Amino acid sequence: MEYVKTRTIMTKSDLGEKWFGIDYHMNLYKGCSYGCIYCDSRSDCYHIRNFDEVKSKVDALEILEQELASKNYRGVVSFGTLSDPYNIEEEKQQITRQALSLILKYGFGVSIDTKSDLILRDLDLLQEIAKNNSVIVKISITTFDDELAKKIEPHVCSSSRRFEVLKKLREAGLFAGVLMTPVLPFLTDTEENIRNMISLSKEADANFIYTKMGMNLRTNQRNYYYRKIEELYPGLSQDYEAVYGNKQFCNSLQYRHLMELFLNLAHQNGLLTEMEDIIQAYKKEILMNEQMSLF
Protein backbone atom coordinates (compact mmCIF):
# COMPACT_ATOMS: atom_id res chain seq x y z
CA MET A 1 0.00 0.00 0.00
CA GLU A 2 1.25 3.46 -0.89
CA TYR A 3 1.78 5.96 1.93
CA VAL A 4 1.39 9.70 1.50
CA LYS A 5 2.73 12.47 3.70
CA THR A 6 0.39 14.70 5.64
CA ARG A 7 0.65 17.42 8.26
CA THR A 8 -2.80 17.01 9.76
CA ILE A 9 -5.33 14.22 10.20
CA MET A 10 -8.22 15.89 12.01
CA THR A 11 -9.58 19.27 10.94
CA LYS A 12 -12.37 21.41 12.34
CA SER A 13 -15.58 21.02 10.39
CA ASP A 14 -17.10 24.06 8.73
CA LEU A 15 -20.37 22.22 8.19
CA GLY A 16 -21.40 22.02 11.84
CA GLU A 17 -25.10 21.41 12.24
CA LYS A 18 -25.58 21.16 8.48
CA TRP A 19 -24.16 17.62 8.28
CA PHE A 20 -25.03 15.35 11.21
CA GLY A 21 -23.58 17.73 13.78
CA ILE A 22 -19.97 16.72 13.21
CA ASP A 23 -17.29 18.85 14.80
CA TYR A 24 -14.14 17.44 13.18
CA HIS A 25 -13.34 15.81 9.83
CA MET A 26 -10.93 12.92 9.54
CA ASN A 27 -9.91 10.71 6.62
CA LEU A 28 -7.32 8.12 7.59
CA TYR A 29 -7.14 6.79 4.03
CA LYS A 30 -7.03 8.43 0.62
CA GLY A 31 -8.94 6.81 -2.21
CA CYS A 32 -11.36 3.91 -2.13
CA SER A 33 -11.48 0.41 -3.60
CA TYR A 34 -15.26 -0.04 -3.77
CA GLY A 35 -15.66 1.23 -7.32
CA CYS A 36 -19.00 3.02 -6.80
CA ILE A 37 -19.62 4.67 -10.15
CA TYR A 38 -21.28 7.75 -8.65
CA CYS A 39 -18.75 8.67 -5.94
CA ASP A 40 -18.41 12.44 -5.64
CA SER A 41 -14.99 12.05 -3.99
CA ARG A 42 -13.51 11.61 -7.47
CA SER A 43 -14.21 15.28 -8.16
CA ASP A 44 -11.21 17.49 -8.90
CA CYS A 45 -11.85 19.68 -5.87
CA TYR A 46 -10.69 16.90 -3.51
CA HIS A 47 -7.32 16.41 -5.25
CA ILE A 48 -7.22 12.62 -4.78
CA ARG A 49 -4.88 11.11 -7.35
CA ASN A 50 -5.76 7.59 -8.63
CA PHE A 51 -8.90 7.51 -6.50
CA ASP A 52 -9.52 3.76 -6.91
CA GLU A 53 -6.22 2.94 -5.18
CA VAL A 54 -6.29 2.99 -1.38
CA LYS A 55 -3.44 4.91 0.25
CA SER A 56 -2.65 5.50 3.89
CA LYS A 57 -0.96 8.46 5.55
CA VAL A 58 2.51 8.46 7.07
CA ASP A 59 2.39 8.52 10.91
CA ALA A 60 -1.39 8.96 10.80
CA LEU A 61 -2.06 7.58 14.28
CA GLU A 62 0.77 9.49 15.92
CA ILE A 63 -0.46 12.76 14.38
CA LEU A 64 -4.04 11.97 15.35
CA GLU A 65 -3.13 11.36 18.99
CA GLN A 66 -1.31 14.68 19.17
CA GLU A 67 -4.33 16.46 17.69
CA LEU A 68 -6.82 14.76 20.01
CA ALA A 69 -4.71 15.58 23.04
CA SER A 70 -4.55 19.26 22.04
CA LYS A 71 -8.31 19.83 21.67
CA ASN A 72 -10.30 21.43 24.47
CA TYR A 73 -13.68 20.46 23.01
CA ARG A 74 -14.39 16.73 22.88
CA GLY A 75 -16.73 16.86 19.90
CA VAL A 76 -17.83 14.35 17.29
CA VAL A 77 -15.13 13.20 14.87
CA SER A 78 -16.30 12.11 11.42
CA PHE A 79 -14.84 9.01 9.79
CA GLY A 80 -15.38 8.48 6.07
CA THR A 81 -16.45 11.75 4.51
CA LEU A 82 -14.21 11.16 1.47
CA SER A 83 -12.94 7.59 1.81
CA ASP A 84 -14.68 4.64 3.46
CA PRO A 85 -12.88 3.94 6.77
CA TYR A 86 -13.54 0.21 6.28
CA ASN A 87 -12.02 -0.16 2.83
CA ILE A 88 -10.36 -3.32 1.56
CA GLU A 89 -7.06 -2.52 3.34
CA GLU A 90 -8.56 -1.91 6.78
CA GLU A 91 -8.97 -5.58 7.75
CA LYS A 92 -5.19 -5.97 7.60
CA GLN A 93 -4.02 -2.47 8.53
CA GLN A 94 -6.53 -1.83 11.36
CA ILE A 95 -5.86 1.91 11.19
CA THR A 96 -9.53 2.74 11.74
CA ARG A 97 -9.71 0.43 14.74
CA GLN A 98 -6.62 1.99 16.30
CA ALA A 99 -8.04 5.46 15.65
CA LEU A 100 -11.26 4.48 17.43
CA SER A 101 -9.17 3.36 20.41
CA LEU A 102 -7.66 6.85 20.50
CA ILE A 103 -11.10 8.43 20.21
CA LEU A 104 -12.14 6.38 23.25
CA LYS A 105 -8.95 7.23 25.16
CA TYR A 106 -9.45 10.99 24.76
CA GLY A 107 -13.23 10.99 25.23
CA PHE A 108 -14.41 12.15 21.80
CA GLY A 109 -17.58 11.15 19.95
CA VAL A 110 -17.69 9.57 16.52
CA SER A 111 -19.69 9.69 13.29
CA ILE A 112 -19.06 6.91 10.78
CA ASP A 113 -20.13 6.59 7.12
CA THR A 114 -19.57 3.16 5.61
CA LYS A 115 -20.80 0.52 3.19
CA SER A 116 -18.80 -2.28 4.81
CA ASP A 117 -19.78 -5.04 7.20
CA LEU A 118 -16.29 -4.83 8.70
CA ILE A 119 -17.65 -2.21 11.07
CA LEU A 120 -19.09 -5.06 13.13
CA ARG A 121 -15.53 -5.96 14.13
CA ASP A 122 -15.39 -2.71 16.11
CA LEU A 123 -18.68 -2.97 17.98
CA ASP A 124 -16.81 -3.26 21.27
CA LEU A 125 -15.06 0.09 20.82
CA LEU A 126 -18.16 1.86 19.51
CA GLN A 127 -20.18 0.68 22.49
CA GLU A 128 -17.51 1.94 24.90
CA ILE A 129 -17.32 5.33 23.15
CA ALA A 130 -21.12 5.62 23.31
CA LYS A 131 -21.10 5.30 27.09
CA ASN A 132 -19.57 8.75 27.48
CA ASN A 133 -20.05 10.56 24.19
CA SER A 134 -22.09 10.59 20.99
CA VAL A 135 -21.97 7.87 18.35
CA ILE A 136 -23.82 7.80 15.04
CA VAL A 137 -23.35 5.23 12.28
CA LYS A 138 -24.66 5.89 8.77
CA ILE A 139 -24.85 2.78 6.60
CA SER A 140 -24.75 3.94 2.98
CA ILE A 141 -27.37 2.11 0.89
CA THR A 142 -28.55 3.44 -2.47
CA THR A 143 -30.93 0.66 -3.53
CA PHE A 144 -32.70 -2.34 -2.02
CA ASP A 145 -31.98 -4.29 -5.22
CA ASP A 146 -28.85 -6.43 -4.78
CA GLU A 147 -28.42 -6.93 -8.51
CA LEU A 148 -28.54 -3.21 -9.26
CA ALA A 149 -26.22 -2.50 -6.33
CA LYS A 150 -23.70 -4.96 -7.72
CA LYS A 151 -23.58 -2.97 -10.95
CA ILE A 152 -23.24 0.50 -9.51
CA GLU A 153 -21.22 -0.51 -6.39
CA PRO A 154 -19.23 -3.48 -7.73
CA HIS A 155 -16.89 -4.17 -4.81
CA VAL A 156 -19.20 -3.63 -1.85
CA CYS A 157 -21.17 -6.17 0.19
CA SER A 158 -24.78 -6.52 -0.94
CA SER A 159 -27.51 -4.12 0.11
CA SER A 160 -29.26 -6.95 1.96
CA ARG A 161 -26.06 -7.58 3.93
CA ARG A 162 -25.84 -3.90 4.81
CA PHE A 163 -29.35 -3.98 6.24
CA GLU A 164 -28.26 -6.97 8.34
CA VAL A 165 -25.28 -4.93 9.57
CA LEU A 166 -27.61 -2.08 10.47
CA LYS A 167 -29.80 -4.43 12.51
CA LYS A 168 -26.77 -5.73 14.42
CA LEU A 169 -25.65 -2.19 15.18
CA ARG A 170 -29.07 -1.39 16.57
CA GLU A 171 -29.15 -4.60 18.59
CA ALA A 172 -25.83 -3.48 20.10
CA GLY A 173 -27.56 -0.31 21.27
CA LEU A 174 -25.92 2.09 18.81
CA PHE A 175 -27.67 5.01 17.11
CA ALA A 176 -27.65 4.02 13.44
CA GLY A 177 -29.56 4.49 10.22
CA VAL A 178 -29.46 4.64 6.45
CA LEU A 179 -27.72 7.21 4.30
CA MET A 180 -29.75 6.93 1.09
CA THR A 181 -27.46 9.10 -0.98
CA PRO A 182 -27.07 9.58 -3.79
CA VAL A 183 -30.36 8.88 -5.52
CA LEU A 184 -29.54 8.22 -9.16
CA PRO A 185 -31.94 9.70 -11.73
CA PHE A 186 -33.40 7.06 -14.09
CA LEU A 187 -32.06 4.23 -11.88
CA THR A 188 -32.89 4.42 -8.18
CA ASP A 189 -35.46 7.25 -8.17
CA THR A 190 -38.47 4.94 -8.25
CA GLU A 191 -41.43 4.39 -5.95
CA GLU A 192 -40.45 0.73 -5.68
CA ASN A 193 -37.00 1.60 -4.41
CA ILE A 194 -38.26 4.13 -1.89
CA ARG A 195 -40.96 1.82 -0.52
CA ASN A 196 -38.51 -1.03 -0.10
CA MET A 197 -35.79 1.15 1.39
CA ILE A 198 -38.21 2.45 4.02
CA SER A 199 -39.60 -1.02 4.74
CA LEU A 200 -36.18 -2.64 5.10
CA SER A 201 -34.93 0.25 7.26
CA LYS A 202 -37.90 -0.26 9.56
CA GLU A 203 -37.24 -4.01 9.74
CA ALA A 204 -33.64 -3.29 10.72
CA ASP A 205 -34.88 -0.96 13.49
CA ALA A 206 -33.08 2.03 11.97
CA ASN A 207 -33.24 5.30 13.88
CA PHE A 208 -33.29 7.34 10.70
CA ILE A 209 -33.09 7.38 6.92
CA TYR A 210 -31.70 10.44 5.17
CA THR A 211 -31.77 11.44 1.51
CA LYS A 212 -31.48 14.43 -0.79
CA MET A 213 -33.28 12.72 -3.72
CA GLY A 214 -30.56 13.53 -6.23
CA MET A 215 -26.85 13.33 -6.94
CA ASN A 216 -23.75 15.45 -7.44
CA LEU A 217 -22.14 15.50 -10.88
CA ARG A 218 -19.21 17.88 -11.12
CA THR A 219 -15.90 18.25 -12.91
CA ASN A 220 -14.19 14.99 -13.84
CA GLN A 221 -16.67 12.89 -11.82
CA ARG A 222 -19.40 13.69 -14.36
CA ASN A 223 -17.33 12.28 -17.21
CA TYR A 224 -16.47 9.16 -15.20
CA TYR A 225 -20.10 8.55 -14.28
CA TYR A 226 -21.35 9.05 -17.83
CA ARG A 227 -18.75 6.61 -19.13
CA LYS A 228 -19.71 3.94 -16.60
CA ILE A 229 -23.43 4.47 -17.14
CA GLU A 230 -22.94 4.06 -20.89
CA GLU A 231 -21.13 0.76 -20.31
CA LEU A 232 -23.96 -0.54 -18.12
CA TYR A 233 -26.94 0.99 -19.92
CA PRO A 234 -26.09 2.07 -23.49
CA GLY A 235 -27.82 5.32 -24.37
CA LEU A 236 -28.61 6.38 -20.81
CA SER A 237 -25.73 8.86 -20.63
CA GLN A 238 -27.41 10.81 -23.44
CA ASP A 239 -30.54 11.15 -21.30
CA TYR A 240 -28.44 12.56 -18.47
CA GLU A 241 -26.72 15.04 -20.75
CA ALA A 242 -30.03 16.15 -22.29
CA VAL A 243 -31.65 16.77 -18.89
CA TYR A 244 -28.79 17.92 -16.68
CA GLY A 245 -26.03 19.18 -18.94
CA ASN A 246 -23.31 20.63 -16.72
CA LYS A 247 -25.41 21.04 -13.56
CA GLN A 248 -23.61 20.14 -10.35
CA PHE A 249 -26.61 18.85 -8.39
CA CYS A 250 -29.07 16.74 -10.32
CA ASN A 251 -32.44 16.31 -8.66
CA SER A 252 -34.68 13.44 -9.67
CA LEU A 253 -37.20 14.52 -12.30
CA GLN A 254 -39.84 13.21 -9.86
CA TYR A 255 -38.33 15.06 -6.93
CA ARG A 256 -41.49 16.50 -5.38
CA HIS A 257 -43.56 13.35 -5.71
CA LEU A 258 -40.82 11.01 -4.51
CA MET A 259 -39.76 13.23 -1.63
CA GLU A 260 -43.33 13.50 -0.42
CA LEU A 261 -43.69 9.72 -0.63
CA PHE A 262 -40.37 9.24 1.15
CA LEU A 263 -41.23 11.59 4.02
CA ASN A 264 -44.74 10.21 4.50
CA LEU A 265 -43.61 6.58 4.57
CA ALA A 266 -40.63 7.29 6.80
CA HIS A 267 -42.72 9.15 9.35
CA GLN A 268 -45.40 6.46 9.30
CA ASN A 269 -42.68 3.97 10.19
CA GLY A 270 -41.15 6.08 12.94
CA LEU A 271 -37.95 6.96 11.08
CA LEU A 272 -36.29 10.33 11.50
CA THR A 273 -35.59 12.15 8.23
CA GLU A 274 -34.65 15.75 9.13
CA MET A 275 -31.05 16.68 9.91
CA GLU A 276 -31.93 18.72 13.00
CA ASP A 277 -34.02 15.89 14.46
CA ILE A 278 -31.32 13.30 13.83
CA ILE A 279 -28.66 15.45 15.51
CA GLN A 280 -30.81 16.12 18.55
CA ALA A 281 -31.63 12.43 18.88
CA TYR A 282 -28.06 11.11 18.89
CA LYS A 283 -25.98 13.78 20.57
CA LYS A 284 -25.34 13.07 24.22
CA GLU A 285 -26.68 15.59 26.70
CA ILE A 286 -23.19 15.97 28.19
CA LEU A 287 -21.81 16.93 24.79
CA MET A 288 -24.63 19.38 24.07
CA ASN A 289 -24.05 21.07 27.43
CA GLU A 290 -20.31 21.29 26.83
CA GLN A 291 -20.88 22.84 23.40
CA MET A 292 -23.30 25.41 24.79
CA SER A 293 -20.81 26.38 27.51
CA LEU A 294 -18.33 27.44 24.83
CA PHE A 295 -20.68 30.17 23.71
The CATH number of whichever domain residue 242 belongs to comes to: 3.20.20.70
pLDDT at residue 144, as a whole number: 98
pLDDT at residue 15, as a whole number: 63
Q: Where are the beta strands (DSSP E) in the chain?
A: 2-4, 10-12, 24-26, 29-30, 55-57, 76-79, 109-114, 135-140, 175-179, 209-210, 214-216, 249-251
pLDDT at residue 288, as a whole number: 53
pLDDT at residue 17, as a whole number: 62
Burial group, residue 33, by CB count within 10 angstroms (0-12, 13-18, 19+) = middle
Domain membership of residue 135 as a residue range: 2-293
pLDDT at residue 266, as a whole number: 98
Burial group, residue 148, by CB count within 10 angstroms (0-12, 13-18, 19+) = middle
| Closest CA relative to residue 198, chosen from 116, 115, 245, 268 | 268
pLDDT at residue 5, as a whole number: 84
| pLDDT tens, per residue, the chain with 295 residues | 788 888 888 888 876 567 899 999 888 888 888 889 998 877 766 666 777 788 888 899 999 999 999 998 999 999 977 789 999 889 999 999 999 999 999 999 999 999 999 999 999 999 999 999 999 999 999 999 999 999 999 999 999 999 999 999 999 999 999 999 999 999 999 999 999 999 999 999 999 999 999 999 887 788 889 999 999 999 999 999 999 988 889 999 999 999 999 999 999 999 999 999 999 999 975 555 555 555 4
Q: Supply the pTM of this predicted model.
A: 0.91
C-alpha distance from residue 189 to each of 91, 135, 250 (Å): 33, 30, 12
Judge whether 10 and 109 are in contact, CB under 8 Å.
Answer: no
Residue 275: how many other CB atoms lie within 10 Å? 15
pLDDT at residue 261, as a whole number: 98
pLDDT at residue 291, as a whole number: 56
Supply the DSSP symbol for 272: B
**Greatest CA separation for the chain:** 57
| Closest CA relative to residue 75, chosen from 287, 293, 292, 295 | 287
pLDDT at residue 18, as a whole number: 78
Please count the structural domains in the chain.
1
pLDDT at residue 54, as a whole number: 84
